[in-house]
Amino acid sequence: MIRKRKNKDIFITLVTRLVLLAGLYFGASALWPELIEHTLFLPIAFAITLISVVLQGDIGTNRRPEQMLLKEGEKLMLIYGANKIMMPIAQVESVAIDDNYFGIIEKNNGNGYDIMCKGSQEQIYHHLKNILGTHIENCNVQLL
């Protein structure tokens, strides 16, 4: 299940980015001592960080399929929610695609993975084809 972004997530992300930014600033000021004299750098950097965190949008929602499927060597990594499933690409038997949905069936054991995502059939098919490359041509691809 994909979760919605909460205030706690926003706060943690903001604090993490600000700590990283402060570390970068102090590291740069150690290498370039005159940087401290340029006082506009730090407020502008903090403002940009704050705006980017607030306007980032929901974490984990409206994810495109290529963000859920990653190639790692010869493995296909399927990521959704807290689950991470890895299978060899050669074991993908079929892919079913519909509006806001795609499913993958493994070749040897018939396990199926249903994933809900945003996008039309054509968008999802296009993204999956970019991810799987020529392998998707060897699969049974069914547009529902």
pLDDT digits over 84-133, tens only? 555 555 566 777 777 777 777 777 777 777 766 666 777 777 777 766 66
pLDDT at 2 over 50: no
Q: Are 59 and 2 in contact (CB under 8 A)?
A: no
Which residues lie below 8 Å from residue 29, measured CB to CB, with a gap of 6+? 35, 36
28 pLDDT band, cuts 50/70/90, is confident
Query: Quick one: which of 13, 139, 131, 121 has its CA closest to 79?
Result: 131
Where in the chain is CATH 2.30.29.30? 65-143
Extract long-range pairs of 87-90: CB within 8 Å, 24+ residues apart. Answer: 89/132, 89/135, 90/135
pTM value is: 0.34
Does domain 65-143 match CATH 3.50.50.60? no
